[in-house]
Amino acid sequence: MDALWKSIESTDLWKHVEPQIEKVVLDPNYHDVLTLVKGIRSGMVYGAKVRFPHALVMIFLFRSGTFRQKITLVYKATRQHALNLGRFALIYKGTMLLLRRTSPGGKENTFDSFLAGLAGGYYVFGRRQNSVNQQIVIYVFARVMLALAKLTIKPREEGGMGLIQDEKLREKVREHAWAWFASLSWAAVMCVFRWHPETVQSSLRSSMQYIYVNSDTWDSFRNFLIHDK
């Protein structure tokens, strides 16, 4: 990509149009609209960077099919992740801009980000339930729960909920909370996978099937240690 951009920069056409483009990009009058364009670009680039290596590994390890079929699946998953984050960025930033411009005084209100996230979350991720959307939403949900857990014990004077006032108790919770959280999370997922595997998200179920179920059977040294059946 850098090499392509350098070749474009070296052309006479680019040298002619670059000053005009720079003038528009740096004009404060266009700043709000251009943040939408930049948001779409950043969302798509980040989505592609995150999804491509993940899809490449998971599909080639756990999906059956020809090389061409697997490459097609990698491309589709990467494209969907990139477009979803790009669309969400457009809706979120566009809604935030609209709410700010229609607000008295033109200022951002406390719940603007919640409303903008609600709109983007529904339109982009809520209307279609598929593996890519599920993974993104579950990832976000887990991070939100961790953040809320931290806010519950954070002192009110620091912006938290302050549910635990005693400093010594607060430190004990901080010290042991992660161990309990990790232990209970793994206890729960193993129990659910053992008795209701059909309810576990497909990629997680595939990896757990590979590690914990396929390791129960073999009929030769090759599929005991070298390769599964």
Q: 117 Cβ partners below 8 Å, 6+ apart?
A: 92
Please compute the mean of the pLDDT values over residues 86-114 and round it to a whole number.
95
For the chain, give the longest Cα–Cα distance: 75
Closest CA to 81 of 117, 46, 39, 57: 46
Residue 49: how many other CB atoms lie within 10 Å: 12
Mean pLDDT of the chain: 90
Q: Is the pLDDT of residue 5 over 70?
A: no
Q: Is the pLDDT of residue 4 over 80?
A: no
CB 192 within 8 A of CB 199: yes
Supply 121's token pair.
Answer: 């979350």
Give me the pLDDT at residue 81, please. Answer: 95
Higher pLDDT: 98 or 218? It is: 98
Distance (Å, rounded) from C-alpha 51 to C-alpha 54? 5
Please compute the mean of the pLDDT values over residues 86-97 and round it to a whole number.
97
Supply 81's token pair.
Answer: 């992740």
User: Can you give the pTM of this predicted structure?
Assistant: 0.79
Amino acid at 105: G
Identify the band that residue 75 occupies on the pLDDT scale cut at 50, 70 and 90: very high
Give me the pLDDT at residue 229, please. Answer: 61
Give me the pLDDT at residue 131, please. Answer: 85
Give me the pLDDT at residue 90, please. Answer: 97
Looking at the chain, list the stretches that DSSP marks H as alpha helix, in order from N- to C-terminal side: 2-9, 12-25, 31-62, 67-102, 112-120, 131-153, 167-195, 202-208, 221
Please compute the mean of the pLDDT values over residues 55-64 and round it to a whole number.
88
Supply 37's token pair.
Answer: 């364009």
Distance (Å, rounded) from C-alpha 170 to C-alpha 164? 6
